[in-house]
Amino acid sequence: MEDVVNLQRLQKYYRDKKVFITGHTGFKGAWTMAYLHLAGARVKGYSLAPEYANGLFEVLQPLHLAESCIADIRDKDRLQKELLSFQPDLVFHLAAQPLVRRSYEIPAETFDINVTGTANLLEAVVRLEKKCTTIVITTDKVYENKEQDILYGEKDKLGGYDPYSASKACAELVVSSFRNSFFNPDRVDVHGKTIVSARAGNVIGGGDWSPDRIMPDIVRALQNGQAIEVRNPFSVRPWQHVLEPVTGYLLLGGLLSCQPGSYAGAYNFGPLPQDHLQVKELVEAAIGSWGSGCWLDRSSPVAAHEAGLLKLDISLAKKDLGWIPRLTARQAVQWSLDWYKLSPEQQAEYTFSQIKSYLAL
């Protein structure tokens, strides 16, 4: 299958479709919301209020891109009410506690949000009496990481060392259970529902100000003329610009809507093998792009465990979906910094400009 994802194709999939997004106030959720607006969808978001100021959601707020419900994914009754009243054609579930280090501070809450929250969302979809496609976003960290130089594929064993990773692996089991119990692909002609999970690598891009994420840490330090503090400079990650996986999510949703049951399962969205870079390589690329700066190794032997080596196999998404990465890791760094260098007044327009530029590659 050829990679022919462009705006016209996405508009064919999404124009006038009703799309329900959880986590739309977050980093990837806000990019998904903007993307769907360009594609002509009618969007409703369900999420907690943004955790930080000046993120992409707040930048885009004046444009009124979506109907917005500020509520907790753990509030099952409210979630079900909001979803059923909207009657979506597609659902993208991105709401999560997404930070590894925070999961050590609030482990039970992390499991509650990421596991019970996912079950709450899928139970609401069960109650929906119409055809619907659901994409559940998890993470590259769902795999049992052996810290070896191998590419993890969708059939590899799930695991998770830290509470965040383990909670997302549990969410994958929730998805599998609901697929078997309520959305079985063999009976899609009866229930009309399709569900799939999407596992993305380490995502960077404009509009993210989360704590303990590499790109916000880099930008804050560079803007303030400070050294970038790096916890694990030699760790290897599957870096990618946010537009790579979000395009994959939307392509997957569109294909599923046209061919219900055909793609039910899980898909990895990550970079090409050469773009699995060390953290220090990413930081040095950012310093070179910015034109100044330096970094310091702040590794600690008593710090909470974080994966040292993690790589994804994306061959299934390439084969089944025709999806391939369009930006190298270093281009992803440049595109990210280009966004952050702009004034808040320019960032909203530039967000749509980057989406269009990406689709034109």
* Best CA proximity match to 122, nearest among 174, 78, 82: 174
- Quote the CA–CA distance of 246 and 272 in Å, as a whole number: 16
Q: What mean pLDDT is predicted for residues 335-340?
A: 97
In a domain, 248, yes or no: yes
Percent of the chain with pLDDT over 70: 97
- The model's pTM is 0.95
Domain that holds residue 158: 7-359
List pLDDT tens digits, range 5-43: 899 999 999 999 999 999 999 999 999 999 999 999 999
In a domain, 84, yes or no: yes
What is the reported pLDDT for 262? 81
In a domain, 324, yes or no: yes
In a domain, 2, yes or no: no
- The CATH number of residue 309's host domain is 3.40.50.720
- Quote the CA–CA distance of 227 and 293 in Å, as a whole number: 6
pLDDT tops 90 at residue 286:
yes
Q: How confident is the model at residue 302 (pLDDT cuts 50, 70, 90)?
A: low
How many domains, in total, are found in the chain?
Answer: 1
List pLDDT tens digits, range 85-124: 999 999 999 999 999 999 999 999 999 999 999 999 999 9
In a domain, 351, yes or no: yes
Strands 236-241 and 276-278, sheet pairing: antiparallel
What is the reported pLDDT for 261? 74
What are the structure tokens assigned to 79, written together? 């979630």
What is the reported pLDDT for 147? 82
pLDDT tops 90 at residue 299:
no
pLDDT tops 50 at residue 175:
yes
In a domain, 239, yes or no: yes
What is the reported pLDDT for 338? 97
Q: How confident is the model at residue 212 (pLDDT cuts 50, 70, 90)?
A: confident
pLDDT tops 70 at residue 305:
no
Kindly report the backbone phi and psi dihedral angles of residue 33, in degrees, each rounded to the nearest multiple of 5, phi listed first: -60, -45
Between 288 and 146, the more confident residue is: 288
In a domain, 1, yes or no: no
pLDDT tops 90 at residue 211:
no
pLDDT tops 90 at residue 149:
no
What is the reported pLDDT for 2? 47
What are the structure tokens assigned to 246, written together? 């979000």
Q: CB of 69 within 8 A of CB of 93?
A: no
**Mean confidence (pLDDT) of the chain:** 93
The b/e string for 262-274 (b: 16+ C-beta within 10 A; e otherwise) is ebbbbbbbbbeee
Q: List the single range of 158-167, 193-202, 301-310, 338-347 with lowest mean pLDDT.
A: 301-310
pLDDT tops 80 at residue 301:
no
In a domain, 98, yes or no: yes
The b/e string for 251-261 (b: 16+ C-beta within 10 A; e otherwise) is bbbbbbbeebb
